Amino acid sequence: MIQLFSLAYEQFQYLPDLLDQCTLDFHQTNVQLTKIQALKYFLKLIPTRNEIDPYFNTFVDKSIQGLMGIIRLPVFCHDDEQIIDWVLPSQCVIVRDTFIRKIFSQDLLLSHFNSYYLHDEFIKECDEQILIKLGCRRLDFADILKLIRTLYKQNDQIHSTKTTSIEQIAQWLLCIDYSLQQERERPGFNNEHDSGDETEMTTINELKQLKIIPLRQQSQLVSFDEFDKRTILFPPNKSIKFDKHLKIVLDDLPTIDDRLLDYIEDKYPRRIDSIKTLLTNLG
């Protein structure tokens, strides 16, 4: 019985060819069934826990486990979303936001995690819980931290604004901020044994250790941990004119590079307030 899903999957793979060879009139609509569509129909036949009697939950779960090693899902190859490949669910990552996919590119995902972005049609139309049971996973905050550590701390190199562009730093901060917001919106975040606040505090502490903050008049990137006894300031309002002696004092204080916030405000104006809140929380 448990093999029924696997057998059905094998048959569904032939469905586009069978319909194409069919002599009935319904295939004359010039809309040919694709392999992706056939697989979507198959996955929609798999019941969720809310759709069946609890007695059958174990049967469905074991049947899905039997599919994990044989089913292949469509993914984007590299950063060209016109080229499709088919891989095991364990190599598939679910990301709905195109902004994150742009920053966290397919090439980076493949080179650092040997994973691919699941095709949009599956993300939009298939039940996410079924996809996760098959072995797909969400791109979580730990993945982003791991990649940033790899890029910025590889071989203990000292990174600077000469080797890392302000644009790249801004994009990573935007990606971090978005991921934090997604984590907070996750169902049960504040109800899982009251661990939500503790989890977020751990995340903030990890972020403080990353040397990805550019300062004024300094090429070397810094971490907030390095300034635990001093406060890193936001750039002063450009419309305010300071006396010369005050300007000298301000210039001597650690201040975030103007170009970072200017870039975010120019390219992503809706995210600037959220980024400022993130930086404030970091210290």
Closest Cα to residue 134, out of 122, 151, 149?
Answer: 122
Residue 138's pLDDT is what?
85
19 and 85 within one domain = yes
Do the domain assignments include residue 107?
yes
Length of the chain, please? 283
Do the domain assignments include residue 198?
no
105 and 221 within one domain = no
109 and 47 within one domain = yes
pLDDT tens track for 79-104: 666 778 899 999 999 988 887 888 78
152 and 110 within one domain = no
Percent of the chain having pLDDT more than 90?
Answer: 11
Angle CA 133–138–144, to nearest 5: 150
The DSSP element (H or E) to which 94 belongs, if any, is strand 92-94
Q: Which residue has the higher pLDDT, 273 or 100?
A: 273
Q: Which residue has the higher pLDDT, 156 or 148?
A: 148
pTM, two decimals, is 0.72
What Cα–Cα distance (Å) separates residue 176 from each residue in 195, 218, 246?
20, 23, 34
pLDDT surpassing 50 at residue 155: no
- The CA radius of gyration of the chain, in Å to the nearest whole number, is 25
Which of 138, 159, 179 is the last residue in one of the domains?
A: 138
Question: Alpha carbon 221 to chain centroid distance?
Answer: 24
As for how many domains the chain has, the answer is 2
Do the domain assignments include residue 274?
yes
Report the C-alpha gap between 184 and 197 in whole angstroms. 10
Tokens of 249: 């004092």
Mean pLDDT check: name the lowest of 12-16, 34-38, 235-239.
12-16
pLDDT band at 151 (very low <50, low <70, confident <90, very high): low
pLDDT band at 268 (very low <50, low <70, confident <90, very high): confident
Q: Note down the domain range covering 13.
A: 4-138
Report the C-alpha gap between 36 and 74 in whole angstroms. 7
pLDDT surpassing 70 at residue 2: no
Do the domain assignments include residue 119?
yes
102 and 212 within one domain = no
Closest Cα to residue 92, out of 55, 49, 62, 130?
Answer: 130
pLDDT band at 18 (very low <50, low <70, confident <90, very high): low
Which of 138, 154, 172 is the last residue in one of the domains?
A: 138
Which of 115, 138, 161 is the last residue in one of the domains?
A: 138
pLDDT tens track for 224-245: 888 877 888 888 877 777 777 7
pLDDT band at 44 (very low <50, low <70, confident <90, very high): confident
Q: Which residue has the higher pLDDT, 280 or 158?
A: 280
134 and 47 within one domain = yes
Mean pLDDT of 173-192: 70
Mean pLDDT of 124-136: 89
Do the domain assignments include residue 129?
yes
Q: Which residue has the higher pLDDT, 78 or 96?
A: 96
pLDDT surpassing 60 at residue 170: yes
122 and 216 within one domain = no
CB 73 within 8 A of CB 121: no
155 and 134 within one domain = no
Name the burial class of residue 142, with classes exposed (0-12), middle (13-18) and buried (19+) by CB atoms within 10 angstroms of its CB: exposed
Do the domain assignments include residue 200?
no
134 and 145 within one domain = no
268 and 156 within one domain = yes
Residue 15's pLDDT is what?
67
268 and 155 within one domain = yes
Do the domain assignments include residue 234?
yes
Task: Give the other-Cβ count within 10 Å of 73's Cβ.
Answer: 24
Which are the contacts of 56, defined by CB distance < 8 A and separation ≥ 6?
47
- Going by DSSP bridges, is the β-strand pair 73-77/80-87 parallel, antiparallel, or unpaired? antiparallel
275 and 148 within one domain = yes
Maximum mean pLDDT: which of 4-13, 31-40, 266-275: 266-275
Question: How many helices and strands, by DSSP H and E, does the chain display?
Answer: 14, 5
Do the domain assignments include residue 196?
no
